[in-house]
Amino acid sequence: MMTREEAYMELTKYVDNKNLLKHMISTEAVLIRLAKLFDQDPDLWGMAGLLHDIDYEDTKELPEEHSLKGAEILENMGFSEELVYAVKVHNERHGLLRNSLLDKALYATDPMTGLIVAGALIRPDKKLSGVDVPFLRKKFDQKAFAKGANREQILTCSELGLSLEEFLGFGLEAMQGISEALEL
């Protein structure tokens, strides 16, 4: 498997949007945290998080192609079948089963990072350090808040054996650990 630095360099050939890159770095951090929790390979899980939206800029007008094209790109780069499949199934439009823990973790984590970022951005200092789980839990129930963060998708954290509060806690902890890179 290529190094994280090599993967990031490849990623920047496909993605220019700074906020999209931050989303992918956030997803990477959360998946690394979850991999450690579940005694899985943090390098594999982190790489899946980092690269899961590699095709987003190319497919944003064709959402039915999103993740299929990304999976193809990653397969051509030589990534494992496990990583490629997790990327492919994070887009629910394809109706593919999420089988592995990685598949389920990436699917649930993807929208959660946006909810956490939105929580930081409404704080006076716009920092993750001012966000906690009770605050996120309260905001989770407000449908007008972070509308793009699919609540049903986040709630699939139960398939990982995690309550919403636990899942938000692990996500927040992971993202606070990279707050400098996220400029939050």
Whether 71 is covered by a domain: the verdict is: yes
In the numeric block, which tokens belong to residue 148? 């793009």
pLDDT 10s digits, 111-133:
999 999 999 999 999 999 999 99
pLDDT value, residue 59 = 96
- Secondary structure (3-state) at 43: helix
Whether 147 is covered by a domain: the verdict is: yes
Structural domain for 115, as ranges? 4-178
pLDDT value, residue 167 = 98
Whether 183 is covered by a domain: the verdict is: no
Domain count within the chain: 1
pLDDT 10s digits, 48-76:
999 999 999 999 999 999 999 999 999 99
Whether 167 is covered by a domain: the verdict is: yes
pLDDT value, residue 56 = 97
Phi, psi angle pair for 85, to nearest 5°:
-65, -40
Whether 184 is covered by a domain: the verdict is: no
Q: What is the CATH number of the domain that holds 170?
A: 1.10.3210
Whether 132 is covered by a domain: the verdict is: yes
pLDDT value, residue 115 = 97
Q: Is the pLDDT of residue 1 over 80?
A: no
Helix (H) or strand (E) holding 80: none
- Under the banding of pLDDT at 50, 70 and 90, the label for residue 24 is very high
Whether 70 is covered by a domain: the verdict is: yes
Q: Is the pLDDT of residue 104 over 80?
A: yes
Whether 131 is covered by a domain: the verdict is: yes
Report how far apart, in Å, the C-alpha atoms of 4 and of each of 48, 118, 128 are. 11, 27, 24
